[in-house]
Amino acid sequence: MHVLQNLQQVATDFQRDWRQHAPKLAVPSQYAFEGYIAWRVFAEAMDRSNESLSRTGVRRAFEQMGDFSVAGFRVRFSPQAREGANFVDIGVVSDNCRLKF
């Protein structure tokens, strides 16, 4: 499956969760979406961890995580791979401060 198709499901989950948990906040942003994915990955690593919430414990939790899907958006962590994902999207801020893709 192509990475953009994977983003559709995680974007749908994000919008659903945003409406459920933050309905009175501003319109969701790209930064909120990125934070949502990061939070889902972090929460999964902590669920899998058997160690205390320390620097070493968090690092080990991620290193042992391996491949993980956030609603289809794939991330991978290991002792040799700490980037998570390598997908990059480019956005441009217009003259009127709107984000365009």
The predicted-structure confidence for 49-65, as pLDDT tens digits, reads as follows 877 788 888 888 888 88
Q: pLDDT band for 92, please (50, 70, 90 cuts).
A: low
Structural domains of the chain ordered from first start: 3-100 (3.40.50.2300)
Please give the model's pTM, rounded to 2 decimal places: 0.72
CB-CB neighbours of 98 under 10 Å: 9
Sign of CA dihedral 84, 85, 90, 93: negative
Do 47 and 57 contact (CB within 8 A), yes or no?
A: no
Reference 74, options 46, 101, 42, 41; nearest CA is 41
Task: Summarize pLDDT for 17-53 with one digit per residue, the tens.
Answer: 888 888 777 778 888 888 888 899 988 888 888 777 8
Tokens representing 8 are: 């559709």
